[in-house]
Amino acid sequence: MLEEHRHRPYSAFIISKLAKVCLNKCNFVTHQLPKLTQTKRKSDIFVEAMKKESGQTDAVNELPYIHRDVSWLSFNYRVLQEAKDPNVPLLERIKFLAIYSSNLGEFFRVRIANHRNVMRASKKSRKKLGYKSSSVLKELLKIIYEQLLEFSSIFENQIIPELKEHKINLLTRKGLNEKQLTFIEEFYMDNLLPFVQPVFLDKHKIKPFLQSGSLYLILHMEDKEDPLKLPKYAIVNIPSNHVKRFLELPPKVKGEHDIIMLDDIVRHSIQSIFPGFNILDTYSIKVTRDAELYIDDEYAGNLVNKIRKSLKKRKVGVASRLVFDREVPSHLLEYFKEVLDLTKYDLLPEGRYHNNFDFFSFPDFGFKHLKDKKLSPVHYKALENAASIFDKIKEKDYLVHVPYHTFESVIKFFEDASVDPDVSEIKIIQYRVGSKSRIMKALMKAVKNGKKVSSFIEVKARFDEEANLDWGEKLEAAGVEVSYSMPGLKVHSKMANVIRKENGKEVIYTYLGTGNFHEGTATLYSDIGLLTANQELGHECVNLYNYLDTKEPPKLPFKHLAVGQFNLNDQLHTLVNFEIEQAKKGMKAEIILKMNSLQDKEMINRLYIASQAGVHVKLIIRGICSLVPGIQGISDNISVVSIVDRYLEHARIFVFHAAGKKKTYGSSADWMYRNLHARIETMFPIYDKTCKLIIHKLLEFQLNDNVKARLIDETQSNTYRKAEPGEEAIRSQIETYNYIQQITD
């Protein structure tokens, strides 16, 4: 949920290749290689790269701008708002607690780790940033601390009592009867004992390595025979990676459901591990480690092999936080801080339990009334039931909108291509795909059927590196021509081509999307995809793919596609500037932008100029929004809403009034610095009138949402936009589903 960001030549930003590597790793702040031999000079280069990445100029910095990480925390708070919204079904609220926790874990593994690495750079180097890195980190930790207090309050004061109302009892060990105690003791002996690993601690001799994300109990004990001996400390793992976190107990009352967490089973049984000691206190902790891959030089040697080696080091990265029970006494906390070589910036108090993303697996007991009403995806029968999907696409363009539509039509695009005797070639860019993928199987089947299949695989897709490498091996073994990541860049485009011989000519069929070829996320992420037989678009996609495959500059310019590293920034500036000129002439000028994140200072500055010229700018931003709307004289004409609901809003859609022509685009790119300057991204036009009208209707629903839309402002208050008295309630995702049902044949 942290996803996932150069119209000028790459060399104009960074002189040395090392700095290019650093820049590719950065979002707002930089990384430092976790090696004791790291030199000051290298640290200085890292910080300089970060400064340029953030787009700092005097002109831009005078304008209002919300730090990207502060804005992201505001987004994650919107997730937490769903967990406390009484209108959200109870089990869905528990799911939002899990999403919040999962998001925050990634934030620490990546963003907080980045800030900690910046603080390790030289003081002289940090001054170049224009802000105090320690101040930024303190602000972020303060916001997180306050949110976690609210998280605990929601869980303890709302979720648990409401579960009890529905006869679901989440018990601690002190609330168990004799039958239940016997049950958990037997469960411990049969299922947990082989995996529990106790370790006595001596801060001068024994310093255990804690696995990132794993759960532990820290113990304060005394010797039963000689209580005056120095206090003893120990640590015990909670084996949640081997056994499910929630265990259903024999109920105290028939018809009710009693549950206990794995943590409390270990707490209860831990005395048996230390028979010669009295257990004085037990508290839970967890360490999160830096998850970045540090590659010394992407431009030399085998990049794929370097990534494989780096993946092995991810689990032993520098600690970026120690999460602990906020009830832990100071003496115990200080002891473990020293044992684990942590500072005050690494400490984060939470409630009694950690790894709350495990709430994804909270048992539902078949209680459908406590979950969202199921919205069955709509089948595109015209495509899914067609004898050949290509005959249908030749007739007209099709817009696929998952998860409202099934992903079947996209899968059929590849499955039909794999067996169609007229198909000669398939090309695809793979950023993220599922562990089980019919699309990948179709590619391998196509090779068996004598077709040429080419796949570009981005192996730097964060947290999917290993899965993509594995798929690369499988595809190569099947005969697919596989090419991998480009040094210094990520390839984030989502597109595929099928080349078919018809009447002696090659005809190109194209899929262009805002989301990945991932059958799993297609049921959760809201994305659009275009299936088209437009030959000019098709040739440009093939042109781009050939560049990725050969690394040779495209032979022809892009006229329809806007592509990162080539014409994407110029095209965006041209579109915005046209609206500015229209407004200056007194003509109608409007820009509607929907995306995950808006952080690039140069584009934000351009939108401020547009607002000042009189352009009406309407933004739908799910996540990071560093732009500040509604500031008098600067952004009066800009409004921003964020929608967090049952589906993850992931589509990037841009509409420019264009003197009434309504130029409409889908894109793989958010307006983050990394997307616009450090990636191969694709923005594609929507030419078909029907497809354009559908997109405009979808945006209308979201702009008018008064149920799940939050207003984004300078204070990051996340106020819900509410329906006025007598006004109809509009929940955009439900309206979208109903609309898709109506229009899909």
CB 359 within 8 A of CB 99: no
What's the rounded Cα separation, in Å, for the pair 473 and 537? 30
Q: Kindly give the interhelix angle for 303-314 and 465-477, rounded to the nearest 10 degrees.
A: 140
Tell me if residue 95 falls in helix, strand or coil: helix
Cβ atoms of residues 663 and 655 within 8 Å: yes
Helix (H) or strand (E) holding 21: helix 17-25
Sign of the torsion formed by the C-alpha atoms of 445, 448, 449 and 451: positive
**DSSP conformation class of 647:** S
CB atoms within 10 A of CB 313: 13
How many Cβ atoms are within 10 Å of 382's Cβ, its own excluded? 15
Torsion sign over Cα 278, 280, 284, 290: negative
* Owner of token pair 């291509």: 417
In which order are the strands placed within the sheet that holds 215-223?
A: 198-201, 232-238, 215-223, 277-289, 319-325, 347-350
Question: Could you list the active site residues?
Answer: 492
464: nearest Cα among 427, 434, 442: 434
- Distance (Å) of CA 146 to CA 77, 153, 350, 357, 634: 10, 11, 10, 19, 31
| Spatial separation of the C-alpha atoms in residues 550 and 720, rounded to whole Å | 50
Strands (E), 202-245: 215-223, 232-238
Q: How far apart are CA 41 and CA 77, in angstroms?
A: 38
> Nearest Cα to 96, choosing from 403, 419, 357, 281?
357
The CA angle 247-191-184, to the nearest 5 degrees, is 50
Structure tokens given for 567: 């014409």
**What tokens appear for 291 in the block?**
């998850």
Q: Residue 249 in contact with residue 260, Cβ under 8 Å?
A: yes
DSSP 529: E
Taking a C-beta distance cutoff of 8 angstroms, is the pair 615, 691 a contact? no
How crowded is residue 375: how many other Cβ atoms within 10 Å of its Cβ? 17
75 residue type, one letter: F
As a whole number of angstroms, the distance between CA 227 and CA 233 comes to: 13
Reduce the DSSP state of residue 341 to 3 states and report it: coil
For residue 377, say if its preceding peptide bond is cis, omega within 30 degrees of 0: no
